[in-house]
Amino acid sequence: MAEDRPDEGTASALLLRVLVFAAMELGLSPPMLADAAGISAAALTPEVLADPDARVPASVLIRLWEFLPALAKNESFGLWLADKVAGAPLSVAWWVIQSSATLGEGLSRALRYQRLLHDAAQSELVIHENVAIYRHQIGAPPFRPPYHAIEFGFASIVGLAQRVTGRAGWPRRVRLQHSAPKDLTLHTKLLGTNLSFEQSADELEFDRSLLELPLETADEGLREVVEAHARELMSRLPAGNTMRARVRSQVCELLRSGPVAIEAVARRLGIPSRTLQRRLREEGTSFSELVDAVRRELSLRYLGDARISIQETAFLLAFSDVSAFHRAFQRWTGETPSRFRARSLGKPS
């Protein structure tokens, strides 16, 4: 089965608009930016930048996230930009969050439409007894966008959540995969002081109770209108490997509630089960293969996290019991979960 290529998909033009704003702050007009960054001028036309529903090549955004920080010579470029454009929407999902009744409802609903941000978006919200974790992921590991893009996204999410709840002082911890910069001034201003670098995943951790906070911007009527528009935009997204990505996203979300049936995924995607099966066959895969792949990827991620027990991993992946998880993991990797965990955490097995 061919892998999804995050750098070959599309993303929201709203993200491009933010990066063009940054370039103009640095003295580059869109034509000058295209020439300097070595990208097509057609990607930066006034028509594209003026259309909030337009799609642009993800490769263009990745190139700009690499080029602009180097041009600015700013190791905290993503946070600088987030501070500059605080409040700017990054996709229709932004309005979904703001119009929802609670923060938890808003985040959960927004994850259904995260592909509007990027074709290969696979972020997830993992809820534990006392904490909730938003884990950011574009495509399948080991792919990772430039770290400036991740820091920009985290600061934007935190800022949005603080605005709509009227509650500051979160997240309680931020984990990032890259090394710490020399100057943490903007990090502590926008993300707080509890920062961990060189971690195994990019995560925002916060008290679970925050999910129940009512939003000052809640508007049921507006949410219904916004979600209808989001569903329409989802239906327009280009074909190719997109059905696989859409199914993977739904499986990640539904696994937390138990075994995932193709009927449930088809319902959420608004298509018949047979159509879903046919579309996946055309892309060279099947529903059961995708569920298996998602479980495998998530198991590697969870077992690399010392906070999540092997028993909890089995539960989060909707296995009937720990023994069933052990058998599946050995089939996937050729080793036991406990041995893999010890090796990934650098402990003697």
Contact 175, 205 (CB under 8 A): yes
Residue 192: the pLDDT is 93
Q: Is 4 helix (H, G, I), strand (E, B) or coil?
A: coil
Residue 328: the pLDDT is 93
Residue 2: the pLDDT is 37
Residuewise pLDDT in 10s, the chain (349 residues): 334 556 667 889 999 999 999 999 999 999 999 999 999 888 899 998 999 888 888 889 999 999 999 999 999 999 999 999 998 888 888 999 999 999 999 999 998 888 888 888 888 888 888 999 999 988 766 678 899 999 999 999 999 999 999 987 789 999 999 999 999 999 999 999 999 999 888 999 999 999 999 999 999 999 999 999 998 988 887 654 467 777 887 888 788 788 899 999 998 888 899 989 988 887 778 999 989 988 988 888 788 777 789 999 999 899 999 999 999 999 998 889 998 888 777 665 5
For the chain, which domains are there? Answer: 1-236 (no CATH), 239-349 (1.10.10.60)
Residue 303: the pLDDT is 85
d(CA 26, CA 72): 7
Greatest CA separation for the chain = 60
In order, the DSSP letters of 86-141 are: TT---SHHHHHHHHSSBHHHHHHHHHHTGGGTBTTB--EEEE-SSEEEEEE-BSST
Residue 190: the pLDDT is 95
Q: Which residues contact 309 (CB under 8 A, 6 or more apart)?
A: none
Residue 1: the pLDDT is 34
d(CA 186, CA 241): 38
Q: Is 247 helix (H, G, I), strand (E, B) or coil?
A: helix
User: Is the model's pTM score more than 0.85?
Assistant: no
Tell me, what DSSP letter sits at residue 217?
T
